[in-house]
Structure 1
């Protein structure tokens, strides 16, 4: 094929020579190729951050959340203390940072949300929909945590004239085995000094505040876990028969539980015995959940402009509170013991693949890789923003925050271990227990405990809302970008925001029932673990193998004013990170165990339901691909359609999210021709371009 283009003067004739009968030729005026002036209306212009700091703080607020305060410290305890920091740092370097950098560049280059951005390879638009489902399901249960936090915060700020409600055992939610921290320490000393059989049988160990050790010889509690010290002391008894007598009573002794433990489970949750007894929603929790969603709406009511201002507070205030709590924790007796447990590694745990699996999932959970949020947030960046610097700051900032909060938590654990005369592994709590049981326990022993409780739960609220604001903004951005002609008009984006929050509120109501904790735990176990690994793997493979690693690096270089990007990123994105994800996902799947909460093991049907939800989240990846192939009405073979749909859409390009409606039809001569000769299906074309002087020659091959 050849083309002769007159570079100067009037109309320019473009002549093509090719035997293909389907090749269409036309004549264009030079002005056809001029970039159109974008209208300066508010609807046409995409919002941007008020400054670079707003984006950084938004990303930090999004990444640093409740998981940094309770999930990371528990995983450290579970996986060998300081030994867990090694796989966590490795996963952060070789999976977390590469994905963070890729998603930041992807969103910033296109200026679109996590669905529209896949015009880079339309066949895989389902990846964007999977990201949306992950974010949506995650937001449903995440806001329930904020509902609990709102209730605790309200109880704390209304207790300044009295005492915190979980500081007493004289309440109707106490079944009889309630103890405060100080009475627990008294009880432990009493066990060691008295006659163990008589204490267990006759309550001869007298404790203050009406606390007692409950023994029910008639029914007992065969499922109650037994205290370690009972076994330890049994070995020291003589052979007069006391040991056998003690053993008969072990199964009838209810393990004493802290007042904050019983307050959380029996009052806040009114927890049932399992999935078979969900019950009805509690009106207090429904009200708190509704209030949490209202706060999210208010923070996003003006789009990223209002969200950008809110994140200054939501991202910085938690560090202030963590610092205050850390300083206070370091002054507590036994805190050094907790820090030693946190930093001194148990090296043998590094050989356990589950430790590496937990580290990878925590990195995905903490940085929210594969959730689509980073793509949405970076889509509001300026085109030439330094994406690499932002990715490094956010990733290392998130990791440092996890370690920082871990220090605070383990100072408290060391103190409680000292006060209760128990090993650290006996006082550590999993998941929500760390925030709603452990910390309320510690504030009861501090002066001005309502103040410390209010401060702590205010920190949890800012952490949680920082993440929720970004989650909901991701959902809103994705929907408004995907159906821009419908939703990006007038007050419709606000309607989309309210609609998202209302639907999520309704679907979150099961979490407010007496069995809501089990529902929440099921969603946490399945929605944001394996499915996120699959989404992250698919994202890496499509961008590097289908869209092309070299092409993507060229796009990144364009945002860097033409400065080349290190080729090392190509091999990390293309080979290393995907292999790590596959290895972690395989080991995690092989070692999967039935879900449980405390001593309750979920029924098999619950795990099956969780697996269905997990599969449902990733179903759009093959489902949308199949639909697009079916939608492409053409006699060509399927593989030809696959190759065609894998190519970038004609609208894909630099800052396509900032182009007004009709921009491509006006600026692209191929689009101008299509307006006269419509194609059989959207996207059924292949075009290549080159620029010669003032004219751009488009060769369009109709299929």
Structure 2
């Protein structure tokens, strides 16, 4: 009342409110479609195109993991939407002792942002060469070809491929000798491939200008980048189904060997792929969800997006294996000899198949545009996730005019220079090393275990149910809570143990054995991600004074909506419990008290009012606080 009756203070207060709003304005999706397209764009990535179909025919799929990941998908998206915070600061509101999970996910996504954009650089290189009068991977009449290069001759296919045991294809030599200039070992890094450097620079420039304005720019870009790949996929699917031999490829894809399900390696492969495909434990879901409106139906979105992800992967298999069936038919070889995954599929097998079709330039252009856009969506979201984490940690620094753009420029520049290692002649050795040990399923499996324990047990599945009910108006079924507490941690940890027992060192092209220092580097970088979780917990405990148990209970279980906050709400004074935590609990637990601005803005204004009026936080009752809010 005193503040409202004082004109001078009222003017100062309005100025303070305006400044606070500017600092805390994170932005939101313009509409729900932008959120759905952004998430779909990052879920439906290159893994759906070049790895999922291969694993389906090889291993029989991973339906069990898909169900677990759907529930983790809901958990992570709901955490971001409920707190309107990125994947690091949101843990401060749920389980501060496990904030290290947020840092670990950002390390994984940073590794991925540096390494996977190189795939876009390769795709740009192929795209530019697709405009030639003859695609250069169709013949052996080029300066980079060797005497072992053998062109495909449809009239005499058998003699072509059996004449020499060392025979190679034009597509293989274009990839290894023209694009990569690959060296003989990881110890021979060689020189930079300057054409790839320029392609990498182009990819980073495009990413920068698509992300530099936050969700306001990303939300508009995804209208094209998330939908156009589907158009290209449909075009390639229709073309593939009309090729001779396509049905043989589809039969090979749809009828895998069920006996393979008894092999633990099948479940390790499936676990890694599904975690990556659903974006679990990478922070992207939390970051994207944080820009939703509070009342958005995150429960419905989860099922829609998971169905889109699974359906896209399944349809991509038809597009890929119909073409592989055509290759098998044309060359007279078993499909198992032409099937491949990863870069071998996108940059050797598929270009080789395209070269056999009429109008190869057209189909090559369509395919590599699709590869570029699939990679671009994932890259956009990775950068947005990193930017969200940093700006939420330091809002007063980076939520000012042009600060975000400068931060993003610095981030892209650093990542570009780090990525130069991967466009050297030995770059592919490092890329596969990082992919196998750092951005691996083992890291994500352990992070998933930590995450489900933190939310399912420490914060409490019922508490998260309360949060979700507050947002969408109803509680999810009990199955989710059971999975968060029991099924997901047991399955993920069991899969991790299987992978350790069945561990086999990485081999490049199944032949080259890395030196010891390379394996040490890979394991060190991979373990660093996971160790951030316990290291952060130890750090937080050592920073607090008092007995460990007391510190755990009153500082680290949860400061928003936890069972402890509700129990102690009536205890306005406690030696180790700040009443402002009760305030946060009230604001987040009952959104009907908050009108107009977001709870973060309201809390900041209230704290400043209290400071200006000289009222102590411990002396302020809940009823006065509610009256002030009204």
TM-score class normalised by the smaller sequence: 0.7 to 0.9
Compute the RMSD of aligned alpha carbons.
Answer: 2.7
- How far 1:74 moved relative to its partner? 2.2
Separation (CA, whole Å) in 1 of partners of 2:65 and 2:432 = 25
Separation (CA, whole Å) in 1 of partners of 2:121 and 2:211 = 18
The one of 547, 550, 568 aligned to 1:637: 547
Say which SS state the counterpart of residue 371 (structure 1) adopts: coil
Partner of 2:575: none
Partner of 2:309: 398
Partner of 1:532: 444
- After superposition, the C-alpha distances for 1:74-104 in whole angstroms (9 at most, x for unaligned) are 222432xxxx23xx122111x2100111111
Residue 660 and residue 554 in structure 1: after superposition, are their counterparts in 2 closer, same or farther (change >3 A)?
closer
Separation (CA, whole Å) in 1 of partners of 2:414 and 2:161 = 53
Q: Which moved more, 1:620-629 or 1:367-376?
A: 620-629
Partner of 1:130: 104
Separation (CA, whole Å) in 2 of partners of 1:596 and 1:394 = 35
Partner of 1:331: 242
Matches within 5 A, 1:128-277: 128-157=102-131, 159=132, 162-182=133-153, 186-189=156-159, 213=164, 253-254=165-166, 256-277=167-188
Partner of 2:88: 115
Query: Is residue 63 of structure 1 aligned with residue 43 of structure 2?
Result: yes
- After superposition, the C-alpha distances for 1:433-453 in whole angstroms (9 at most, x for unaligned) are 100011111111222211111
Query: Is residue 346 of structure 1 aligned with residue 320 of structure 2?
Result: no
Partner of 1:575: 486
- The size of the alignment, in residue pairs, is 583
Q: Which moved more, 1:322-331 or 1:40-49?
A: 40-49
8 Å CA contact 1:43, 1:490 repeated in 2: no
Matches within 5 A, 1:528-607: 528-529=439-440, 530-561=442-473, 563-598=474-509, 599-607=511-519
Residue 311 and residue 688 in structure 1: after superposition, are their counterparts in 2 closer, same or farther (change >3 A)?
farther
Separation (CA, whole Å) in 1 of partners of 2:200 and 2:429 = 17
- How far 1:602 moved relative to its partner? 2.1
Residue 515 and residue 325 in structure 1: after superposition, are their counterparts in 2 closer, same or farther (change >3 A)?
same
Separation (CA, whole Å) in 1 of partners of 2:626 and 2:284 = 40
Separation (CA, whole Å) in 1 of partners of 2:40 and 2:143 = 42
Partner of 2:539: 627
Structure with the bigger RCO (C-alpha within 8 Å, sep 6+) is 1
- After superposition, the C-alpha distances for 1:170-200 in whole angstroms (9 at most, x for unaligned) are 12221211123336x72414688xxxxxxx5
Residue 373 and residue 190 in structure 1: after superposition, are their counterparts in 2 closer, same or farther (change >3 A)?
closer
Larger Rg: 1
Tell me, which stretches of 5 or more residues in structure 1 are unaligned? 1-8, 11-35, 193-199, 201-212, 214-252, 679-684, 698-703
Query: Is residue 47 of structure 1 aligned with residue 20 of structure 2?
Result: no
8 Å CA contact 2:25, 2:399 repeated in 1: no
Q: Which moved more, 1:39-48 or 1:563-572?
A: 39-48
Matches within 5 A, 1:490-529: 490-529=401-440
Residue 38 and residue 393 in structure 1: after superposition, are their counterparts in 2 closer, same or farther (change >3 A)?
farther
The one of 49, 58, 65 aligned to 1:91: 65
Residue 612 and residue 263 in structure 1: after superposition, are their counterparts in 2 closer, same or farther (change >3 A)?
same
Separation (CA, whole Å) in 2 of partners of 1:548 and 1:39 = 36
Partner of 2:565: none
The one of 594, 601, 606 aligned to 1:667: 606
Say which SS state the counterpart of residue 475 (structure 2) adopts: coil
8 Å CA contact 1:664, 1:671 repeated in 2: no
Q: Which moved more, 1:592-601 or 1:451-460?
A: 592-601
- How far 1:582 moved relative to its partner? 1.0
8 Å CA contact 1:121, 1:645 repeated in 2: no
Separation (CA, whole Å) in 2 of partners of 1:544 and 1:495 = 39
Partner of 1:13: none
Residue 386 and residue 264 in structure 1: after superposition, are their counterparts in 2 closer, same or farther (change >3 A)?
same
8 Å CA contact 1:45, 1:660 repeated in 2: no
Tell me, which stretches of 5 or more residues in structure 2 are unaligned? 3-15, 560-580
- After superposition, the C-alpha distances for 1:44-71 in whole angstroms (9 at most, x for unaligned) are 3221111111100100001100111101
Separation (CA, whole Å) in 1 of partners of 2:50 and 2:307 = 19
Partner of 1:231: none
The one of 280, 290, 293 aligned to 1:369: 280
- How far 1:689 moved relative to its partner? 8.3
8 Å CA contact 2:157, 2:332 repeated in 1: no
Partner of 1:318: 229
- After superposition, the C-alpha distances for 1:586-618 in whole angstroms (9 at most, x for unaligned) are 112211211112132222322221111111112
Separation (CA, whole Å) in 2 of partners of 1:419 and 1:305 = 49
The one of 521, 525, 549 aligned to 1:609: 521
Partner of 2:558: 648
- After superposition, the C-alpha distances for 1:298-338 in whole angstroms (9 at most, x for unaligned) are 10122111111111111111111111111111111111111
8 Å CA contact 1:525, 1:595 repeated in 2: yes
Say which SS state the counterpart of residue 556 (structure 1) adopts: helix
8 Å CA contact 2:324, 2:353 repeated in 1: no
Separation (CA, whole Å) in 1 of partners of 2:523 and 2:120 = 25
Partner of 1:100: 73
8 Å CA contact 1:118, 1:125 repeated in 2: yes
- After superposition, the C-alpha distances for 1:16-47 in whole angstroms (9 at most, x for unaligned) are xxxxxxxxxxxxxxxxxxxx977685443221
Separation (CA, whole Å) in 2 of partners of 1:38 and 1:500 = 30
Residue 411 and residue 316 in structure 1: after superposition, are their counterparts in 2 closer, same or farther (change >3 A)?
same
Residue 689 and residue 464 in structure 1: after superposition, are their counterparts in 2 closer, same or farther (change >3 A)?
farther
Structure richer in helix, relative to its length: 2
8 Å CA contact 2:610, 2:616 repeated in 1: no
TM-score (norm 2): 0.87
Residue 665 and residue 481 in structure 1: after superposition, are their counterparts in 2 closer, same or farther (change >3 A)?
closer
Q: Which moved more, 1:108-117 or 1:687-696?
A: 687-696
8 Å CA contact 1:38, 1:659 repeated in 2: no
Separation (CA, whole Å) in 1 of partners of 2:241 and 2:337 = 21
Say which SS state the counterpart of residue 112 (structure 2) adopts: helix
Say which SS state the counterpart of residue 643 (structure 1) adopts: helix
Residue 301 and residue 668 in structure 1: after superposition, are their counterparts in 2 closer, same or farther (change >3 A)?
closer
- How far 1:567 moved relative to its partner? 2.4
